[in-house]
Amino acid sequence: MANLKLPSLLFFLYSISTVSAISNSKHQPLDPLTPTEFTQIQAIIHESYPKPKHNISFHYVGLDEPDKPAILSWLSNPTTNPPPRRALVITRLNKQTHEIIIDLSSKTIVSDKVYTGFGYPILNSKYAVSDLVKAYEPFKTSIKQRGLNISDVVCNYNGVGWFGEKKSKLLVKVPCYYTDGSVNVYLRPIEGITIVVDTDEMKITEYKDRIRCPVPKAEGTEYRTSKLKQPFGPLLNGAATMKLDDPGFMIDGHTVRWANWEFHLGFDYRAGMIISLASIFDNEKQQYRQVMYRGYISEVFVPYMDPSEGWYDNTYFDSGEFGFGYCAAPLEPLTDCPINAVFMDVHIAGPDGTPVKISNAICIFERHSGDIMWRHTETWVPVREVRADVSLVVRTVATVGNYDYVVDWEFKPSGSIKVGVGLTGVLEVKAVDYTHTSQIEKDAYGTLVADNTIAVNHDHFLAYYLDLDIDGAANSFIKTNFVTRRVTDKSVPRKSYWTVAKETAKTELDARIKLGSKPMEVAVVNPNKYTKPGNNVGYRLIPGSTAGPLLAKDDYPQIRAAFTDYNVWVTPYNKSEKWAGGPYVDQSRGDDTLGTWTLRNREIENKDIVLWYIVGFHHVPSQEDFPVMPTLRGGFELRPTNFFEFNPVLKVITNNDNRPNCTCNLTIARRFV
């Protein structure tokens, strides 16, 4: 992944100086699999299960992450041999799901276990469902009856969900769209046709042509600059110009070092970008201190609120059904990322196990935001001190069907980690007969955003896995409740004040929180480490985007997505508990999720614990979201609380040599005159 990509040939001189910041180092145990390793894995599988006797498809190939104690032991003495490097391969083999562990040193299969529980692995993109459906005579008849051209039809595939069925097969639902006159295919659905395909048999098992609605018009769906027409505006400046002779950070293999931060940057087919081993240098102690062992997006749940036939099962699990890493999109220099960004390629295994490169999948850059890190003007003496805020951003984008998720991890010299997600892309819409809201007589389940186009109400819930190790693995979870007190001293006129009452969560059920139910702060602390005044060192969670589920608890999608029932969860570390929605999400039944693990009510005080935070959005679409949606942002912050003895950026030095040499352009003021 450490293959450096630069924005364009215009930055050749920059490339010369930046390449020196990259060095090749030997494997670190958490490094993602390499193209060579993917090829080895593919060969080992095919040698063990040769064709045509075995019908095999690859649904996940990734690092079999060593157990955490083994990693920590190696880190404490890196001159010893690292833990064995192994790969986890999940396949469909002769209509069964196999979990295969491969030792990459000996190039042998260590174990092969058939999964017999509920649910299926990530959907495999090799399914040729579009060709199958477009060759199906009843479908061709339906298209002809609608006056459409079959050559302008494209079809996708989605999971079918689970709605109480006792038995299940590996099925996908196939929605189709019309491309004539527009590249914005998601805004031109062919409504009223239900198609279900058994992907083990590659047969259509259900076909219904229920209703006839007009396909929404192509007019107004264009978003490409080259195809848009006058008038344009407003006119915005491009990327800010700044000195590029020093990127400000170092990349050594998969380890990134910037300012006082050091962390490992990985990538996974299902999770996408993974941040590990994040530590910050304490200038007073002259040592790096642990903050986070591992952090990533564990699951993304997107339920749509149309319960009618053909729509009720649109309840997507974007990570567990499609793979957030598989959906990573190449980033565009100067637009997705600024001029000072360094780009990285990643590699994943394709549907047949062949390594696939995603170019420019990650970018890293210093953000010179124009914000203030800290400042003060002393009114009694002529003193003013101010520091400009600079941070390091690591970014990737996952395009899952119609939606684009912009995922940022932002590291600040103050010790904060700001985690952001931006929602953009194209709405999922339903074709209807309506052209005006006055025609709607019953619940339309969304907003009429254009002729014959209802943008359906929906939610986005992103479950973040945050294994914080604050100055070590043994941590506790603290709830700081804000309590109103009455003033009992009659000699003062005040009637009340607020104070705090701290509560240590003893077990998993103690730690579940619906934020907003009462005023509180939450933090992960090390109960064995203290500051000089006697406070426990810790990091607090500053929440954002705290929407919770509105579905009934007995609704089947909510049973599967019970991890959204609370905004905050805490579990003891367990290598197998990585995915909030369970290891096998497609057609899962909610029996192996974050919601069920915590029912064991394990002890979490002074233990190696994992914090789970659920970012939530309720989205009622508006016309401004059409035909492509301006980015809606949310996220949260992990902020040090009594971690340092005093302000860690008190002595920060700003390099003013990086200031751009520019003059004010007075024509800017005339653009809107």
Given a contact cutoff of 8 angstroms between Cβ atoms, the answer to whether 655 and 663 are in contact is no
How far apart CA 215 and CA 430 sit, in angstroms, is: 9
DSSP designation for 81: P
- Cα distances (Å, whole numbers) of residue 137 to 133, 134, 182: 9, 8, 26
- Gap between the Cα atoms of 554 and 164, Å rounded: 11
Are 634 and 421 in contact by the 8 Å Cβ rule? The answer is yes
Annotated catalytic, 443? no
Q: Is 147 helix (H, G, I), strand (E, B) or coil?
A: coil
Query: In angstroms, how far is CA 234 from the centroid of its own chain?
Result: 31
Give the closest residue to 367 by CA, choosing from 313, 315, 408, 332.
408
For residues 463 and 299, the answer to whether their CB atoms sit within 8 Å is yes
Q: Check if the beta carbon of residue 564 is closer than 8 Å to that of residue 301.
A: yes
- The answer to whether 440 and 464 have CB atoms below 8 angstroms apart is no
Q: Say whether 403 is catalytic.
A: yes
Tokens 């730690």 belong to 511
Q: From CA 304, how far away is CA 282, in angstroms rounded?
A: 46
Write phi, then psi, for 169 (nearest 5 degrees).
-125, 165
Phi-psi region of 47 (alpha: psi -120 to 50; beta: other; left: phi over 0): alpha
Q: How far apart are CA 273 and CA 361, in angstroms?
A: 9
* Contact call for residues 323 and 62 (beta carbons, < 8 A): no
Tell me the C-alpha distance between 421 and 407, whole Å.
5
Per annotation, catalytic residue among 304, 403, 556, 613: 403
Contacts of 13 (CB under 8 A, 6+ apart): 244, 245
Helix (H) or strand (E) holding 38: helix 35-48
Q: Which of 318, 336, 389, 408 is catalytic?
A: 318
CB atoms within 10 A of CB 121: 25
Place of tokens 């910041």: 21
Range 34-37 contact pairs with CB under 8 angstroms and sequence separation of 24 or more: 34/347, 35/347, 35/355, 35/357, 37/87, 37/104
Q: What are the backbone dihedrals phi and psi of residue 211, each rounded to the nearest 5 degrees, phi first?
A: -135, 165
The span from the CA of 639 to the CA of 315, in Å, is 33
Q: Which tokens go with 139?
A: 């479908």
Q: Which of 74, 88, 89 is nearest to 27 (CA)?
A: 74
**Cα gap 204→132, rounded to integer Å:** 8
Phi, psi of 75 (to 5 degrees): -65, -35
Residue 446's φ and ψ, nearest 5 degrees, are 180, -160
CB contact at 8 A, 74 and 65: no
Token pair 């008038």 in the structure block, residue:
231
CA distance 656 to 285: 27
Residue pair 366/388 in contact (Cβ under 8 Å)? The answer is no
d(CA 48, CA 105): 17
Cα 27 to Cα 255, 257, 376: the distances in Å are 11, 17, 46
> Where in the sequence numbering do the catalytic residues fall?
318, 403
